[in-house]
Amino acid sequence: MDLAVKRKSLPMTDKKGELLTDGEIEFHFEKSNFFRVIHVDGAFGGISPGTQMIHMSIFSERQPIPKKVVQKIQHGVLGAEILEKRESRSGIFRELEADLAISLDVAVALRVWLDQRINELQQAREILVQAHKETKQ
């Protein structure tokens, strides 16, 4: 499940600074202070002028959160919302979560990686559908 991108400009070296031509290299993962799980419903972006980078803003979609709601109080107990007094925007709200600046090499590697994960998920779903059909028989 690893996404690896070959970096032509950075040769791999060991702890002593010697060039690695064969063998192994360890990669250690650490979550940054800003790490979080982001639900993605879509993306918006394009090619950045002059930088040869792809900018992709990822977003999640949801109904607008009301600016104000009014609810009844009956005998000291909070009651139902009075819908006609609700103040809210109409339409769908797209909340931009992050902007990704991606080089061409990384974009191609991401596409390959995504294609592999899509194939794995499709195969897993086919197995589940088949198993479900067999249990119904």
Alpha helices in the chain (DSSP H): 104-136
Q: Which amino acid is at 98?
A: A
Give the Cα separation of 67 and 87 in Å (integer).
Answer: 5
Taking only Cα atoms into account, the Rg of the chain, rounded to an integer number of angstroms, comes to 25
DSSP class of residue 66 equals P
- Which residue is it, tokens 């139902």? 80
pLDDT in tens, 25-80: 777 889 999 999 999 999 999 999 888 899 999 999 999 999 999 999 999 999 99
Structure-model confidence comparison of residues 20 and 109, the more confident one:
109
Average pLDDT, the chain: 88
Which region among 3-17, 32-46, 61-75, 108-122 has the lowest average model confidence (pLDDT)? 3-17
Please check the confidence at residue 14 and state whether its pLDDT lies above 90.
no
Report domain extents, the chain.
40-102
Confidence of residue 135 (pLDDT cuts 50, 70, 90): confident
